[in-house]
Structure 1
């Protein structure tokens, strides 16, 4: 099959990115710097206007702007190159930053999530540029997606984000699904404060631990009630309210009644669950439990990311659906993103229409022995080219 892009260059760029350890780790300050330099040099080599701006020390956004042959729409391709840690290296079947291609698979941390997608979108934009197109293409590799999404937040505040971007394709791994919807997320903590006392004289203190137990039970019931009320989303599944971290007491001081106890929550919402109302219910529950136990409570919302619910009729979604069908010869499957992506922030803060589609299995991110099929990378590159041509209404090659 003759492809409209440099196949070897796509794979080589993905391999080079995987071989760069871009995981956030203690003592590591230059997380994405080396990868950003590689990408900036690659894109400048195409003649693109590229900016590299740190949103934090060692956490740069890399953004390229490609002007077409005349006025028209603006399409953005978006991705990230920061990755989660490999975890226990000995549990991997190959070096976590291998970057080797074995039996048709690119191996290594970040291969699917989402360095293959970044390589594919860059070379897709290059192919569209070489063919000629009206309008404008923006290629954004934004920092800190695996953390607080600082890069997406910074970009959403920029003049470029407000300059008329008509659609965004987020190139995260979704197993061939076109995902116009994504779950929302709330990360928060609840701190209960009582009075420390001797374990032999608990009546002289106010123990925060029993109240924390009551709060956990109350949150479980709240999850059940909301789930029954909103039901299951056809593409996103169920609403989840999950305690993920507990902190109270000191194992070396087992004879001490703890004054404070804390719980961190990872809440995953679907359309139909209003975040403001949900936060109000959690706050009331925590305040009532604290008041009954003679405690005080402090609630901190660490991050609040609403669900993305881009209409399936949006032009960027339709262009991707038709491109998938044209390239693969198979009907597109509409799905949903189980987590959040930078697209969540771009929709929330900049009002942009986003859709997620990219190479790699939907459930492989953050697991050991991460890989992506090379053929999947190439197929997605071809789909990105076709989607861009359709969205920008450019002529297609004969």
Structure 2
């Protein structure tokens, strides 16, 4: 089977439609906040309508009410490999609009930049993967199976990708390209994440008679000190990863007592931690160290202590000479005429679950600055969206043909 040249393939890429659709997605406020009634429903519906307009038959799986995964399976004209492109439809809150110089959901293009919440993280990448797939289909070069996954809840507990893998959509795939913003870097590794909550239960007493109860706040102070010491120990034990940076243990939420009753010791004190790890860190050992320390503190203070693992996402890594990396690298060279940079993801993506539960090699590559995600005045260069779509198009063609 003869294949098209890159320039011939790019002829099938509707760049105007791509940017229009990216704008449409940004205008949809798909903030991940179901408790306030805000979900991914409208953004998912936009993907469904686009897919239907292309003549595709999207699979719509509701992970939670109002929170649908949209999965599209494209089958080529001949046998080939199975490749997954993955993105998410949710975005984080815009926060205070006073921090923005423009409407965060205006979807405007100013001086070549698409502006708004989710423009980089990651509606530009989501649009790029969909239009790249359409171009490959129209070219006649599509073989094997190309799965497009527009999933929910990446910004919180990754319920969407967990459901996607549990239902078998990742089976048989040679790997996944996660279309998150990484400043044009081909990210071959990403940090792991553990979300922990530590709770100490004491016994309330009058603030003037603290010895008549058990105040859990000193126990909370002890676990904060332990977290700081453990972070330093891990950073000393493991060299800073050249692509990921340092290991970190960050307390993010502290709760105890109420200003309504300042003369009452609290019955419970809690601390939430965000632990970010590199591939050298054993997650089970790290969690176990917290459990052991909480037990020690509880015995010392008379509190009851417990540790809840809210979420555990492993770090991922892939060899620089793996097929996914080589295909993306060559496509990047063709499209951008420069040598690709291999990098690492400072946070975590749905790729951690595709790797852990789906046992897939994962690469992260997409339009938008690596550090712009979740900030006010978020934007992505229009040229980066188009370039990413072209890279996806070439890489997908190469990878899908790899089994032939």
Name 1:244's counterpart in structure 2: 252
Whether the aligned pair in 2 keeps the contact of 1:105 and 1:373 (CA below 8 Å) is yes
1:209-288 → structure 2 map (5 Å cutoff): 209-288=217-296
How many equivalent pairs are there?
393
Aligned with 1:160 (options 146, 153, 169): 169
Equivalents in 2 of 1:65, 1:107: separation in Å?
A: 30
Structure-1-length-normalised TM-score: 0.96
Q: Which runs of 5+ in 2 are unaligned?
A: 1-5
Whether the aligned pair in 2 keeps the contact of 1:29 and 1:57 (CA below 8 Å) is no
Q: Which runs of 5+ in 1 are unaligned?
A: none
Equivalents in 1 of 2:83, 2:304: separation in Å?
A: 50
**CA displacement at 1:27 relative to structure 2:** 5.1
Aligned with 2:22 (options 9, 14, 28): 14
**CA displacement at 1:44 relative to structure 2:** 2.1
Name 1:151's counterpart in structure 2: 160
- 2:64 equivalent to 1:64: no
Deviations, residues 11-66 of structure 1 (Å, cap 9, x unaligned) = 00000000111013365436121221221121122222311111000110001011
Name 2:3's counterpart in structure 1: none
- 2:77 equivalent to 1:100: no
Name 2:143's counterpart in structure 1: 134
Equivalents in 1 of 2:313, 2:157: separation in Å?
A: 10
Whether the aligned pair in 2 keeps the contact of 1:173 and 1:360 (CA below 8 Å) is yes
- 2:43 equivalent to 1:35: yes
1:356-375 → structure 2 map (5 Å cutoff): 356-375=364-383
Aligned with 1:320 (options 313, 328, 338): 328
**CA displacement at 1:190 relative to structure 2:** 0.4
Equivalents in 1 of 2:285, 2:340: separation in Å?
A: 35
**CA displacement at 1:358 relative to structure 2:** 0.3
Name 1:303's counterpart in structure 2: 311
Deviations, residues 184-241 of structure 1 (Å, cap 9, x unaligned) = 0000100011111111111111111112112111111111111111121110001001
Structure-2-length-normalised TM-score: 0.95
Name 1:189's counterpart in structure 2: 197
Equivalents in 1 of 2:89, 2:138: separation in Å?
A: 25
Name 1:82's counterpart in structure 2: 90
> Secondary structure at the residue paired with 2:357?
helix
Q: Report runs of 4+ in structure 1 exceeding 3 Å deviation.
A: 1-4, 25-30
In angstroms, what is the RMSD of aligned CA positions?
A: 1.4
